[in-house]
Structure 1
Amino acid sequence: MRLIAAVLLLSLAACAQQPPRDDSLYRALGEQAGITRIVEGMLMNIARDRRIVRHFEKIDIVRLRDKLVEQFCVEAGGPCTYTGDSMEESHKGQRLTPSDFNALVENLQDAMDTEGVPVPAQNRLLARLAPMRAQVIDR
């Protein structure tokens, strides 16, 4: 019994020493509701963007929206779990170019502008998403 109590106490102490998760970007984006509006705005922008809309014609847009909301939430430090495929897997065979990626980023920035997200918060999100560029180009 003492061993169980000691293990429990050590576990609680370890949890107490963990630094709190930084959710300031999540809050700056408007939390779950704001992130959902940003993603939906981005997808609406893409639907009007002749440069890249063809890449989205055969995609389940509702599922894509849901997975992007999860992903942005996780990247922003929110209380979410990403349940989608890896970036490599989900972009396999699409042969996306740097120009395609840049167009998507422009659509995301426009959506964040529409939602009134401050530029520093936009830059923080883009910086967290930027490493994914190599995972989606020419896959």
Structure 2
Amino acid sequence: MAPQDFTYEEVGATREQGHCPPGFRPLHVRTRIGEGEEVFRRAAEAVFTWELHRAAGVGIDTTAERAAPGAEVTVTLAGLIKAPCRVVWTTEEPRRAGWAYGTLPGHPESGEESFVVDRTGDGTVWLTVTAFSRPARWYARA
């Protein structure tokens, strides 16, 4: 994917945990969601099929049934704010699964956000949301 299609330059940077490009605000939230293979499998499926977003009350408009590189999605916040994005990377491994999307022109912010489920050696399943962003519209500065 051509970086010029996005509203920021460091496309794919959320793949590197802890990396936040200069001038952006970082976000890193890690939440324990359970234990075991079945919990991991269900959580990974919810992340890939947009159910994580829908369960959080976020509107999703996409033709992609599953997140995949290049898939475009418009996220609707509070029923009013349209935020166009494109999936920039995915990973599906036995103990780690997730993806990230980056902002496109028209999004109120500029940056990238990833949603990754992982299962540690003791079987604990975690959801990690990592992002970097900065306002792209006046109303996102508040």
Q: TM-score w.r.t. structure 2 length?
A: 0.29
More strand per residue: 2
More helix per residue: 1
Q: Which of 1 and 2 has greater Rg?
A: 1
Q: TM-score w.r.t. structure 1 length?
A: 0.30
Greater relative contact order: 1 or 2 (C-alpha under 8 angstroms, separation 6 or more)? 1
